[in-house]
Structure 1
Amino acid sequence: MTHRKVVLITGCSKGGIGYALSQKFAQEGSHVIATTRNISALEGLEEFGCEKEALDINDQNSIDTVVQKVIDRVGHIDVLINNAGAPAVGALMDIDLQVAHQCVNTNVFGTLAMSKAVALHMAKRGSGKIVNVGSVVGYAATPWAGVYSLSKAAVHSMSDTLRLELKPFGIQVVVVAPGSIKSNFGNAGAKTVNIPEDSLYTSVAKFVIARANMSQSAGNTPNEVFATHVVKKILQPVSPKYITYGANSWVFLLFYYLPFFLKDMIFNRKFGLNQLKLKKD
């Protein structure tokens, strides 16, 4: 058994937020179990004292096996970080539904499945913390990222309910809403872009393509800086219900409260919708 905080983190591939969070939690003295589907993507975390496990959050058997292995080996889980996620970039009229299903299944139902598996153990101990990584687009959905935005809005909504339902058992639920954070997630998103030849949006294709890497533009927040801020908040005895941090995050919080006509006007220009040309036969 261990007296250190036991932290289970999903989606820890090198170059991403989960990898940086794993490093920082370990540096702060936590017992970290870092996971991702392909365990080779966790290379280097062992140098920080992290344990590594292969975990697919879309596979219930994988979830059950890893959670039970951690409980058997370490005794309990203090903190679950639901960071694993899937991107989806493109107009809603163009999005490949397989990509859409993968995004929602991973971001929403994968997060719920992990929460269910770990919360049962936490409830027995009367303590624990579940941290769900949402996004600033969960506050304000943008063009060309509709499916991703709706999946993260669902994570926020789900977390609000979990926070209420699990509080009687001593479990805190926290949402982390990253702004523009330097990571490899933009490259993953770029691979999902789909603009068919008959798309209604061919005339603004450059804006759709640019949306995939928007968070990776100049001025974004290094994932190490992001991880330092988040880990400090999570290791507090009582964490904030929402941790919104990173470049442009305050802008999206503002968008959440802006009148729709003003937000729509800004987004129309930012995402090229005001340049859209009607296709005629």
Structure 2
Amino acid sequence: MSDAKRTVLITGCSDGGLGAALAIAFHEAGLHVYATARNPSKMEQLASLGIETLTLDVLLDSSIAACVSKVSHLDILVNNAGGTYGTPVSDLSIPEAKKLFDLNVWAYIAVTQAFFPLLLESEGIIVNHTSAASVIAVPFQSVYHASKAAMSMFSDTQRLELEPFGVRVVDLKSGYVKSNLNFHNEGFQGLPKGSIYEPAKETVESSMRGDGLVDLGIPAQEWAKQVVQDLLKRKPPANIWRGASAFLVWVGTFLPYGMLDSTAKKSSGFDIVEQKVRKQ
């Protein structure tokens, strides 16, 4: 690897995901890419393209330390690994919600702290993938959106704190993008018995799984190329809005409170849930 070649490390790069799409786009742009995932066998496609793959479980300090020891120089860190958890607020499991915050918030900070000496040396870029979910409320997705909103505030504060050191912080607020994240429903348990939403159980559980989102979004490859193009600008923007509906959500941040509620209800199927519940 040439000393002059810029380097990027991305978390959550299992084949078929957004991290993998970013790894390919950065690779095609000429950077040396460190693609990481908890299970390296899930990055076979990236490895076949000549992309360097490393094991990294963002929830384990020992795994983070081991990964850091294999990287001698770093220009860009992309905190991308994350998960989802859909359920009504009235039914959510607080232990499960805490697990999601561990993955979507605290792991980002832990990984950033571990790689920070390298980023300080290179005056590099920290990218936190919070998504458009950080600024819009969607029924049955409160835990996921709240975790993204929390990370967005950490990211914005990092941006201010690290300016004196020449380290840039970018909040990646993606809209809908086609990826395997929509299909991660292992262990899905559905509504608990006695839920106030039982009259609309089938529709609610479909919304909890994100079934209506599967066919939404732009292709991951298209999204990734746009994001990488933005990040490789001489002065990357503090917020990057890419993906389907990202522009709509951005506009919504300037509109009066609640103006996007009907859009959120329709996209999540909550408009149908509302009708069924009101009939009871």
Using the size of structure 2 for normalisation, the TM-score is 0.91
User: What is the rounded CA distance, in whole Å, between the counterparts of 1:179 and 1:57 in structure 2?
Assistant: 24
1:112-170 Cα deviation digits (max 9, x unpaired): 111111122222x2510001101111111211100000011111111100011111111
Once residues 96 and 66 of structure 2 are traced to their aligned partners in structure 1, the CA distance between those partners, rounded to angstroms, is 27
Structure 2 vs 1, CA of residues 234 and 189 (structure 1 numbering), >3 Å: closer, same or farther?
farther
For 1:200 and 1:45, the matched residues in 2 are separated by 45
The answer to whether the Cα contact below 8 Å between 2:176 and 2:246 also exists between their aligned partners in 1 is: yes
Q: Which residue of 1 aligns with 2:5?
A: 4
Specify the alignment match of 1:93 in structure 2. 90
SS of the residue corresponding to residue 259 of structure 2 reads helix
Q: Is the 8 A contact 2:13 2:36 kept in 1?
A: yes
Aligned pairs (5 A) from 1:164-243: 164-189=160-185, 191-192=187-188, 194-205=190-201, 206-211=203-208, 212-218=210-216, 220-243=217-240
Task: Give the aligned partner of residue 67 of structure 2.
Answer: 66
Query: What secondary structure, in the 3-state scheme, does the structure 1 residue paired with 2:277 have?
Result: coil
Residues of 2 paired with 1:192 and 1:170: CA distance?
Answer: 44
Q: Deviations over 1:169-189 (max 9, x none)?
A: 111000111111000001115
State how 1:1-281 maps to structure 2 within 5 Å: 2-71=3-72, 76-123=73-120, 125=121, 127-189=123-185, 191-192=187-188, 194-205=190-201, 206-211=203-208, 212-218=210-216, 220-268=217-265, 270-272=269-271, 273-277=273-277
| Contact in 2 for aligned 1:94/1:194 (Cα 8 Å) | no
* Structure 1 residue 208, shift from structure 2 partner: 4.1
Is the 1:136–1:178 contact (alpha carbons within 8 Å) kept by the matching residues of 2? yes
| Per-residue CA distance 1:195-221 (angstroms, 9 max, x = gap) | 112111122331442351333224x20
Cα offsets for 1:222-259 (capped at 9, x unmatched): 00000000011111221010111111112222333332
In 1, the alpha carbon distance for the partners of 2:258 and 2:105 equals 29
SS of equivalent residue, structure 1 residue 195 = coil
CA distance in 2, matches of 1:261, 1:178: 20
Q: Output the aligned Cα RMSD.
A: 2.0
* Partners of 2:138 and 2:265 within 8 A in 1: no
| Local SS of the residue matching 2:30 | coil
Identity %: 34
Q: Deviations over 1:14-37 (max 9, x none)?
A: 110000111111111111110011
SS in 2 for 1:254: helix
Structure 1 residue identity aligned to 2:10 = I
Q: Distance in 2 between matches of 1:239 and 1:203?
A: 48
Q: Distance in 1 between matches of 2:229 and 2:262?
A: 37
* Kept in 2: contact 1:175–1:243 (CA 8 A): yes
Contact 2:77 2:127 in 1 (8 A): yes
**Stretch moving more, 251-260 or 31-40:** 251-260
Structure 2 unaligned blocks of 5 or more = none
Aligned equivalents of 2:45, 2:261: Cα separation in 1: 44
Alignment-mate amino acid for residue 275 of structure 2: Q
**Structure 2 CA distance for partners of 1:176 and 1:8, relative to 1, 3 Å:** same
Q: Could you report, residue by residue, the CA deviation over 1:37-89 in whole angstroms, capped at 9, with x for unpaired residues? A: 11111012123221111111111111111012112xxxx11000100001111
1: CA distance between counterparts of 2:188 and 2:218?
23
Q: Matches of 1:266 and 1:181 in 2, distance apart?
A: 17
